[in-house]
Chains A and B, each alone.
Chain A
Amino acid sequence: MKFSRAVRALLRSRSGFAGSVLVGLLVLSALVSLVWTPYDPTLARPQDSWLLPFSGGHVLGTDRLGRDELSQLLTGARSTLSTALLAAAIAAAVGLALAFAAVLTPRRLGAVVVQLTDVLIAFPVLLIAMILTAVHGGSTWTVVTAIGVGAGVNLARVARAEAGRVLGTDYVLAAHAAGSGTWRTVRKHLLPNIAPTLIVQLSLVLSVAVLAEAALSYLGFGTPAPAVSWGRMLQEQQQYVTARPLLVIWPGLAVAASVLGFNLLGDGLREATDARLRVREVAA
């Protein structure tokens, strides 16, 4: 009941609707690519190289190696989506752990955690990825861990502020007086009350993760070939951009649409979960 009302509120807002459509497209492409793509996205067919769109049965044409552009785009959605989701999961775990460690532990320990978080924020995702790549070489896990940790420390700041606010409320004090232990309070009062803020933040983490995944695989820190990703499509096409600009346009558009989708979804969620807007709905 509560969930369906939230979904309705989300779809009613213009940005929520547009965001849901764009994210839906991304998810759909990823799912479809699991069972069907027009051609094998990694299959090189030299005799079919540089085909123009709508020729030889290739809707968006082929690249230098004769690989089908549309099949690569669909398959790329999979790596974008899985990286974004895994990174968001790590970010949530890191962010919540750091935030709770800051507000629930004795004050001195909490202050150390706060300082540590501030130092960690000075490491951009790209630098974390570089450290990991220098030791391990590029891989999906390099990218996922770098984005997850990098976004997680930023999430920790927001979650800490929010958790501090909730812990200072009267209902938490009342729960405490009624004999609720720390974990019970966290589970029953803290988590449900910071959830709306966290969900909005996580949708922004997803959009950052999509951008970062594209940049990192472009720089060569991602899963090595033959796995397909939009960032590596851009990197492979870069030197032929003058001859075949369209092959660069498509993957870039796909990244931009996904980022925009998650951003708009975040805006929509913020409107849908805003208590003041909900009050108006009840009054109407």
Chain B
Amino acid sequence: MTLYLLRRAGLLVVSLLAASVLIFLVLRLLPGDVAQTIGGIRATPAQVAAVRHDLGLDRPLAAQYGSWIGGVVTGDFGRSVLDGTSVSGQLAEKFAVTGPLAVGAIVLALAFAVPLGVLAAVRRDSRLGSAVNALGQLGIALPTLWVGLLLVVVFAVQVRWLPAQGFPVDGWDEPGQAVKSLVLPWLTLALAEGAVLLRFVRSAVLDVLHQDWLRTARAKGRTRTSALVRHGLRNAAVPVVSVLGLQIAALIAGAVVVEQVFVLPGVGQMLITDVGNRDLDKVQGEILLLTGAVLVIGFLVDLAHRLIDPRLRSAV
């Protein structure tokens, strides 16, 4: 296990480095000139060159990359060239919205996708099973942003239970308000994630149901339910956990859209604003942060795999 851990951690570091080089190069080498953008279309070549020098864009690529990564390692993810705000400075405040949004949505998605997925597999030949399966198909096809808008129409406008959009100015100092303004975003994001999870839970449980060892467990006197709970679910969990890991990337993308629909001041909205302003230094840091999050979570999922499935542990 230690050897595996070391090897996997090494791979994580290499992947993070590769991702950072990739982001850096794509932002530098693509045609399109930041200095020209900042200077404006009327800037003279001399002015553009001055901006370029101020931003350090006239230095060799390797030196630029070196000073960027040097900053990242010490926790400086870049600073706005427009207003001087820094990614690290804003991050805590923005994450206080996006973090709870993402975690809450995943918990909610699991809470309905797992039982419904198991139900759809166990009752696959009944009407109930087919209905749940069809609902899952539909959930995958519905655009997240549209579901969000429909929920606003129903719950915020028609019955007026919940705020349509926004987040309290004082943030979590007003916990009641903060939770209320996250209810619709949670539902929206959970539906999108949950529908995908439901399909995978269903097919994982279907796989397990046909295994010989499940029949053995029943032959030894366990009921259908207890055999499934005691033996089946842990086995079915293996593929579901890896899908959960892959879904993290989708979750991040979904959170950006949901923040836009409900006007939540989170990481996603910060990114959209900075992309709109072509604030490349900040965008570069933010994208590295999000990609890093995906890679780190992938690493944790791989470790979780080993904890669930002892066969993997001995197989190194």
Which A residues form the contact surface with B (CB < 8 A)?
Answer: 115-116, 118-127, 130-137, 207, 211, 214-215, 218-221, 231, 234, 238, 241-242, 245, 248-249, 251-252, 255-257, 259-260, 263-264
B141 within 8 A of A: yes
Which of B12-20, B109-117, B215-223 is near enough to bind chain A?
B12-20
Structural contact, A130 and B287, CB atoms closer than 8 A:
yes
Structural contact, B15 and A234, CB atoms closer than 8 A:
no
Structural contact, A252 and B149, CB atoms closer than 8 A:
yes
Question: Of residues 270 to 289 in B, which have CB atoms within 8 Å of A's CB atoms?
Answer: 271-272, 274-276, 278-280, 283, 287
Known contacts A133-B275, A211-B143, A218-B257; is A119 also within 8 Å of B32 by CB? no
Which B residues form the contact surface with A (CB < 8 A)?
Answer: 11, 14-15, 18-19, 22-23, 26-27, 30-32, 137-138, 140-146, 149-150, 152-153, 157, 164, 246, 249-250, 252-253, 256-257, 260-261, 271-272, 274-276, 278-280, 283, 287, 290-291, 294-295, 298
Which of A127, A131, A211: most chain B CB closer than 10 A? A127
Known contacts A122-B249, A124-B253, A127-B287; is A252 also within 8 Å of B32 by CB? no
Known contacts A119-B15, A119-B18; is A255 also within 8 Å of B257 by CB? no
Q: How far is the CB of A66 from chain B (nearest CB, A)?
A: 22
**Complex formed: what's the CA distance from A135 to B23 in Å?**
12
Structural contact, B276 and A220, CB atoms closer than 8 A:
yes
Q: Which of B143, B278, B295 contacts A122 (CB 8 A)?
A: B295
Known contacts A123-B291, A135-B280; is A248 also within 8 Å of B18 by CB? no
Known contacts A122-B19, A122-B294, A130-B287; is A215 also within 8 Å of B30 by CB? no
Known contacts A238-B261, A252-B146; is A130 also within 8 Å of B271 by CB? yes
Q: Which chain B residues lie closer than 8 Å to A220 at the CB level?
A: 272, 276
Structural contact, A115 and B27, CB atoms closer than 8 A:
no
Q: How far is the CB of B192 from chain A (nearest CB, A)?
A: 10
Q: How far is the CB of B136 from chain A (nearest CB, A)?
A: 11
Structural contact, A260 and B257, CB atoms closer than 8 A:
no
Q: Which chain B residues lie closer than 8 Å to A131 at the CB level?
A: 23, 26-27, 283, 287
A/B interface sample: 5 pairs, CB < 8 A:
A124-B253, A245-B153, A248-B150, A256-B142, A263-B140
Structural contact, A134 and B278, CB atoms closer than 8 A:
yes
Q: Which chain B residues lie closer than 8 Å to A231 at the CB level?
A: 145
Q: How far is the CB of B198 from chain A (nearest CB, A)?
A: 14
Structural contact, B30 and A219, CB atoms closer than 8 A:
no
**Complex formed: what's the CA distance from A237 to B186 in Å?**
22
Q: How far is the CB of B35 from chain A (nearest CB, A)?
A: 13
Q: Which of A122, A134, A215 contacts B257 (CB 8 A)?
A: A215
Q: How far is the CB of B152 from chain A (nearest CB, A)?
A: 6
Q: Which chain B residues lie closer than 8 Å to A219 at the CB level?
A: 256-257, 260, 272
Q: How far is the CB of A21 from chain B (nearest CB, A)?
A: 15
Structural contact, B143 and A215, CB atoms closer than 8 A:
yes
**Complex formed: what's the CA distance from A137 to B277 in Å?**
10
Nearest chain A residue, comparing its CB with the CB of B255: A126
Structural contact, B19 and A119, CB atoms closer than 8 A:
yes
Q: Which of A125, A134, A257, A259 contacts B275 (CB 8 A)?
A: A134
Which of A132, A135, A207: most chain B CB closer than 10 A? A135
